[in-house]
């Protein structure tokens, strides 16, 4: 081999070595997407929404990628037998089993964020048809309703998107029959590290969402952001087709149970 043939390889070798080292150091991150349908309709006497549209798919989910700047939380020592025991004792009145079935027997959640709240940035949708200035207030109230529970997570709303862990954005409508979508990323230990929420201003068929609908779909999406998955019980905010406007007893109990447990597999 000629000396001139070897020279380019020698110049590239340090760069290739740096790339390999950085790849080994980088955390393994998984992005998960959850989509929800808001059932359109009038409120019935018991406070639930009666669906007046044609039946919609119960689920809409997809895998995606999300860039993560946060460092992963160090894994803690996990006693799987103890976690299973606590699950058994606390599962009554919750839909934690449905989440485990959907997640291949794994739980995802944020680390404790009370003294260092999760930073949320809410975009303006003023350029979209049927935008209302009160919509960000409805979004904030949905976040705060979840943190009124006995969970070690708080939120603070920031003005700079670059300083946020969670971004909330708006879209006129989705091309599929959904009203909201959440994308979150986790590290290898199943700690959630950041996320994006997108809320539609119109149903897929063109009907605008009102104030209560925006809050309801945000409640659902923040549930996903915090680690919940769908449940088949339509009396809960976390059903795939959202028909209610408030958190149910089961929604509250499931979230509170999740945040007493470490994340990861319970197999």
Residue 202 within a domain = yes
Residue 1 within a domain = no
Tell me the mean pLDDT in the region 9-27.
Answer: 42
- Using pLDDT thresholds of 50, 70 and 90, give the confidence band for residue 118: very high
Residue 6 within a domain = no
Question: Measuring CA to CA, which residue among 156, 137, 118 is closest to residue 214?
Answer: 137
Domain span at residue 210 reads: 28-265
Question: Measuring CA to CA, which residue among 83, 261, 258, 108 is closest to residue 193?
Answer: 108
What are the tens digits of pLDDT across the range 241-261?
Answer: 999 999 999 999 999 999 999
Total structural domains within the chain: 1
Residue 10 within a domain = no
**Position with higher pLDDT, 204 vs 89:** 89
Tell me the mean pLDDT in the region 47-54.
Answer: 24
Contact 237/251 with Cβ under 8 angstroms? yes
What Å distances lie between residue 60 and 33, 98, 184, CA to CA?
9, 16, 15
CATH number of the domain where residue 74 is located: 3.40.390.10
Check residue 234 and give its pLDDT: 96
Check residue 78 and give its pLDDT: 82
Global pTM value:
0.77
C-alpha–C-alpha distance, residues 41 and 49, integer Å: 6
Residue 48 within a domain = yes
C-alpha–C-alpha distance, residues 122 and 169, integer Å: 6
Tell me the mean pLDDT in the region 221-231.
Answer: 97
Residue 17 within a domain = no
**Position with higher pLDDT, 69 vs 39:** 39
What would the 3-class secondary structure string for the chain be? CCHHHHHHHHHHHHHHHHHHHHHHHCCCCEEEEEEEEECCCCECCCCCECCCCCCCCCCEEEEECCCCCCCCCCCCCCCHHHHHHHHHHHCCCCCHHHHHHHCCCEECECCCEEEEEEEEEECCCCCCCCCCCCHHHHHHHHHHHHHCCCCCEEEEECCCHHHCCEEEEEECCCCCCCCEEEEEEECCCCEEEEEEEEEECECCCCCECCHHHHHHHHHHHHHHHHCCCCECCCCCCCECEECCCCCCHHHHHHHHHHCCCCCEECC
Q: In the chain, what is the straight-line distance between the N-terminal and C-terminal CA atoms, in Å?
A: 55
Residue 4 within a domain = no
Residue 56 within a domain = yes
Contact 209/221 with Cβ under 8 angstroms? no
What are the tens digits of pLDDT across the range 157-214?
Answer: 999 999 999 999 999 999 999 999 999 999 999 999 999 999 999 998 899 999 999 9
Q: Is the pLDDT of residue 155 over 70?
A: yes
């Amino acid at each position: 081999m000629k000396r001139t043939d070897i020279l380019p390889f020698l110049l590239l070798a340090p760069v290739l070595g740096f790339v390999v080292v950085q790849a080994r150091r980088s955390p393994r991150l998984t992005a998960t997407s959850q989509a929800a349908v808001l059932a359109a309709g009038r409120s019935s006497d018991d406070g639930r929404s009666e669906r007046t549209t044609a039946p919609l798919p119960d689920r809409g989910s997809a895998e995606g990628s999300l860039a993560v700047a946060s460092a992963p939380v160090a894994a803690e020592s996990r006693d799987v037998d103890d976690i299973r025991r606590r699950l058994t004792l606390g599962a009554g009145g919750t839909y934690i089993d449905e989440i485990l079935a959907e997640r291949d027997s794994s739980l995802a959640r944020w680390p404790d964020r009370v003294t260092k709240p999760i930073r949320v940035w809410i975009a303006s949708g003023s350029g979209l048809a049927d935008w209302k200035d009160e919509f960000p207030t409805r979004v904030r109230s949905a976040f705060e309703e979840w943190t009124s529970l006995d969970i070690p997570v708080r939120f603070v709303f920031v003005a700079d998107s670059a300083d946020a862990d969670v971004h909330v954005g708006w879209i006129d409508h989705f091309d599929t029959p959904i009203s909201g979508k959440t994308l979150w990323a986790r590290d290898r230990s199943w700690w959630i590290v950041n996320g994006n929420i997108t809320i539609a201003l119109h149903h897929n068929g063109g009907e605008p969402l009102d104030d209560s609908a925006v809050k309801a779909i945000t409640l659902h999406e923040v549930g996903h952001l915090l680690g919940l998955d769908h449940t088949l019980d339509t009396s809960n905010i976390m059903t795939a087709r959202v028909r209610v406007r408030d958190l149910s007893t089961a929604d509250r109990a499931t979230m509170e149970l999740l945040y007493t447990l470490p994340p990861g597999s319970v197999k």
